[in-house]
Amino acid sequence: MVDLSLHLLDLLQNSAHAGARTVKVDILESLEHDLLQVKVSDDGKGISSDERERILDPFYTSSDRKHVGLGLPLVAQAAELAGGSLSIEDSELGGACVVVNYKLNHPDRQPLGDIVATFVSFLAGNPDLRVLFTYCGPNGVYHFDTNSIWDDIGEDSRNQLIFLGKVEEELTQGLYSAGYRPDRGGLVL
C-alpha cells in the first residue's frame, strides 16, 4: 500500500465484512503532538480478545477461503515504520475499534493519499452503510455524515451514482477547507 488512504480502505472493508451498519472514522493531524491518528470504529461483530492476540500474524485469518490475512499486519507495519503503533479496542458502537498512530513528521510516514477516493469507492460497494467521518486538520475540523447526503438528495432521485457524486463533492470541499493535503508525507521539505 503506497499511502494511508489505501490502508484506511482496507480497514473500512474489514468493518463491512464484520457486518457493521455504522462506521465512524476519525483522522487527526496534530503538529503540536507530532501525531497522525487514524481511528476506525464500528458496530460489527467485534474482535474477541483471543483473536486480538493472533490478528497481527499474517498467517492468521478468520476466513476459510484463504490461508493468509495481510490487511492488519500491513497497517501495523506501516505504523511501526513511522514510529507509531496499531491497537485494537472495543468500540463504543459495540464492535471493534482500530486505532493507528503515526509520528506526523517521521520521515517514513506515508502521505495520507486520496481520502475522497477511498470513501467513494468504499461507499460504492456498501451504499447502505452509514459513515460518520471527522477530520481534524491544520485549518480546522470537518464532519461528514452519509445520512445528510441521502437527505439532501431527496426520495425521488435516490440512485447510487448520484449519491456517490454528492459524496465526492461534499468531501472534497470539506476536507480541503480543513487543510487536508493528499501528498503531505512525514518528510517536510
Partner 1 sequence: MKSIEELERIKEETLQEIRLRSASGSPRIVVGMGTCGIAAGARDTMLAVLDELRKRKKLDVTVTETGCIGLCSQEPIVTVEIPGEPEVVYGKVDPDKARQIVVSHIINHKPVEEWVINVEEQML
Contacts with partner 1, residue ranges (CB under 8 A): 1, 6, 9-10, 13, 17, 63, 65-66, 69-71, 74, 117-118, 120-122, 124-126, 159-162, 164-165
Q: Which CB atom, from 31 or from 124, has the smaller least distance to partner 1?
A: 124
Measured from the CB of residue 55, what is the shortest distance to partner 1 in angstroms?
A: 13
Angle CA 150–151–157, to nearest 5 = 65
Burial of 122 (0-12, 13-18, 19+ CB in 10 A): buried
Which residues 6+ apart lie within 8 Å of 30 measured at CB? 36, 37, 104, 136
Measured from the CB of residue 34, what is the shortest distance to partner 1 in angstroms?
A: 28
Q: Which CB atom, from 113 or from 185, has the smaller least distance to partner 1?
A: 113
Measured from the CB of residue 14, what is the shortest distance to partner 1 in angstroms?
A: 9
Residues in the chain: 189
Measured from the CB of residue 65, what is the shortest distance to partner 1 in angstroms?
A: 6
Q: Which CB atom, from 44 or from 104, has the smaller least distance to partner 1?
A: 44
Helix axes 160-177, 115-125, angle to 10 degrees: 160
Q: In the block, which residue shows the cell 476459510?
A: 64
Beta carbons of 93 and 42 less than 8 angstroms apart = yes
Q: Which CB atom, from 32 or from 183, has the smaller least distance to partner 1?
A: 183
Which residues 6+ apart lie within 8 Å of 75 measured at CB? 7, 10, 11, 86, 98, 100
Q: Which CB atom, from 5 or from 104, has the smaller least distance to partner 1?
A: 5
Measured from the CB of residue 92, what is the shortest distance to partner 1 in angstroms?
A: 26
Q: Which CB atom, from 10 or from 29, has the smaller least distance to partner 1?
A: 10
Q: Rounded distance, CA 59 to CA 2, Å?
A: 22
Measured from the CB of residue 124, what is the shortest distance to partner 1 in angstroms?
A: 5
Chain centroid to Cα 113, Å, comes to 12
